[in-house]
Amino acid sequence: MILADFLKAVGQLSDPRFRKVFWLGIALTFALLVAVYAVLLWAIEALTNDPIYLPGDREITWIGDLLSVGSFFLMIFLSVVLMVPVASAITSLFLDDVAQAVEERHYPDLPPAPRTPWTDVINDTAAFLGLLVGANLAAVVLYVLVPFAGPFIFYGLNGFLLGREYFQIAAMRREGRAGAKALRARNRGTIWIAGCLMALPLTIPLVNLLVPILGAATFTHIYHRVKAR
C-alpha cells in the first residue's frame, strides 16, 4: 500500500505546482548557503584584520588566507551534509500546494482545505529545520564511532524525521494540529516505514532534492488511506 502511494506521487511529478515548489526550494536553499558563506568570510576578515606578529616583529600574513581556504572546504562539506535537510525544511514552506494538487487530482470530491496560517508554517518550518540539521550533525559523530551501523542510523533517523514531518503537513490541513498528532500516534509504524522509503533517495544526488515533494505527495495519500480505515 505504501509503495502504491509512492508510485502515485511519482506519477504526478510533471504537475506544474510540483515543479514550482521544487525550483523555489532549490533557489532559496542555494541563496541561504551563499549567505551563510558570505557571513563566514566576513567574520574571518574581521578576526584577521589586525596583523599578528611573531617574536622579532615578523608579521604573519598567511593566517587569513588559510582560514579563507579552510572555510571554503568547510562549506563544501556542510553543503553535502546539510543540502537535503535544509532544502527539505525550506520546501516545507510550500508543501500545502503539493498536498492541494494531490487532492484535486485524486480526491476531487473533498471540500477545499483551509490554508495553514503563514505564522504556523514558518514556525513549524523553523522547528523542523533545527531538528533536522541538529539530528543529522549529531549523527555524523555516530557515523565515525560506529561506521558499520551508519546506513541503519541514516535511514532510520531520517525516515523517522521525514515521516513525522510530512504526515503532519498532510494531516494538519484537515485535522488541525491536535488531530494530526493523534492520528500520527495511531499509525507510527506505517509512517516510519514510509519515511524510510522517502529516505532512500537521499543518497542519490539530484534525485534527493525531490524528496520533499515526493514526501508531501506520498503522505497526503497515506493520510487519506489511514483516515478512511
Q: What is the pLDDT of residues 111-121, one digit of tens each?
A: 888 877 777 77
Higher pLDDT, 177 or 220: 220
Of 44, 43, 64, nearest to 52 by C-alpha is 64
Q: How many CB atoms lie within 10 A of CB 215?
A: 30
Question: Structural domain tally of the chain?
Answer: 1
**Full residue range of the structural domain in which residue 24 is found:** 2-227
For residue 94, is pLDDT > 80?
Answer: no
The predicted pLDDT at position 223 comes to 93
Secondary structure, 3-state, the chain? CHHHHHHHHHHCCCCHHHHHHHHHHHHHHHHHHHHHHHHHHHHHHHHCCCCEEECCCEEECCHHHHHHHHHHHHHHHHHHHHHHHHHHHHHHHHHHHHHHHHHHHHCCCCCCCCCCCHHHHHHHHHHHHHHHHHHHHHHHHHHHHCHHHHHHHHHHHHHHHHHHHHHHHHHHHHHHHHHHHHHHHHCHHHHHHHHHHHHHHHHCCCHHHHHHHHHHHHHHHHHHHHHCC
d(CA 195, CA 174): 21
Kindly tell me if the per-residue pLDDT of 85 is higher than 70.
no
**Amino acid 54: pLDDT:** 46
Task: Determine the Cα–Cα distance for residues 145 and 37; give it in Å rounded to an integer.
Answer: 29
> Which long-range contacts link 31-37 to residues 24+ away (Cβ below 8 Å)?
32/86, 32/90, 33/75, 33/79, 33/83, 33/86, 36/75, 37/71, 37/75
pTM for the whole structure = 0.74
> Is the predicted pLDDT of residue 44 greater than 80, yes or no?
no
Average pLDDT score, the chain: 78
Read off the pLDDT of residues 121-151 as tens digits, 9 standing for 90 and up: 777 777 777 787 788 788 888 888 888 888 8
What pLDDT sits at residue 218?
Answer: 92
pLDDT at position 53: 47
